């Protein structure tokens, strides 16, 4: 028996771990219930910020979520900016709905997020850009109106 055969014999049968999908990494997850949970590695998208060890989860209930992007809306009557809109990437790999298994965008304005395909999110972003431009126009008109009112009062 040569050295290579001897080494192979001492290691036993080695099973190759399946290759990870691009854009994924292995992370530990606490799988099971509070009474019978165990840590096991799961494939997780690189954009996911979920702590899969925080609470025991059944394997089919694991979801992936990115950090959220948000915008607060304030006014001079409500200056605290407590009206928020959030957007985040999500994926539910065990969902029966193939759209939820794929990465999608959750957009929340209060309550549970509505889910959007990437194409829907881009159309929504276009609508928001259009809205932002219209909002700038309203601000410009208000500023001009207020300047004219001040001039009338001074004159």
- The answer as to whether 12 is a domain residue is no
Which range (8-12, 15-19, 144-148) has the least confidence?
8-12
- The answer as to whether 28 is a domain residue is no
Number of domains forming the structure of the chain? 1
Residue 129 has pLDDT above 90, yes or no: yes
Residue 119, phi then psi, degrees to nearest 5: -65, -40
- The answer as to whether 138 is a domain residue is yes
Q: What is the pLDDT of residues 50-75, one digit of tens each?
A: 999 999 999 999 999 999 999 888 88
pLDDT at position 81 = 74
pLDDT at position 24 = 95
DSSP H or E stretch at residue 149: helix 118-154
Q: What is the pLDDT of residues 64-108, one digit of tens each?
A: 999 999 988 888 888 887 778 899 999 999 999 999 999 999 999
Query: Contact at 8 Å (CB) between 76 and 92?
Result: no
pLDDT band at 110 (very low <50, low <70, confident <90, very high): confident
- The answer as to whether 128 is a domain residue is yes
Question: Domain range holding 143?
Answer: 118-155
- The answer as to whether 134 is a domain residue is yes
pLDDT at position 1 = 56
- CB proximity list for 27: less than 8 A, separation 6 or greater: 41, 42, 44, 48, 52
- The answer as to whether 151 is a domain residue is yes
- The answer as to whether 150 is a domain residue is yes
């Amino acid at each position: 028996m040569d050295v290579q055969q001897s080494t192979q014999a001492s290691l036993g049968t080695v099973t190759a771990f399946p290759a990870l999908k691009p854009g994924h990494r292995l992370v530990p997850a606490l799988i099971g219930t509070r009474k019978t949970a165990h840590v096991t590695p799961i494939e997780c998208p690189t954009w996911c910020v979920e702590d899969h060890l925080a609470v025991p989860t059944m394997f089919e209930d694991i979801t992936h979520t990115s950090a959220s992007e948000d915008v607060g809306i304030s006014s001079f009557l409500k200056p605290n900016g407590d009206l928020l809109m959030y957007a985040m990437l999500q994926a539910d790999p065990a969902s029966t709905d193939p759209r939820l298994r794929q990465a999608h965008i959750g957009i929340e304005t209060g309550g549970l997020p509505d889910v959007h395909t990437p194409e829907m999110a881009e159309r929504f972003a276009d609508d928001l850009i259009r809205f932002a431009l219209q909002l700038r126009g309203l601000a410009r008109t208000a500023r001009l109106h207020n300047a004219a009112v001040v001039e009338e009062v001074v004159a």
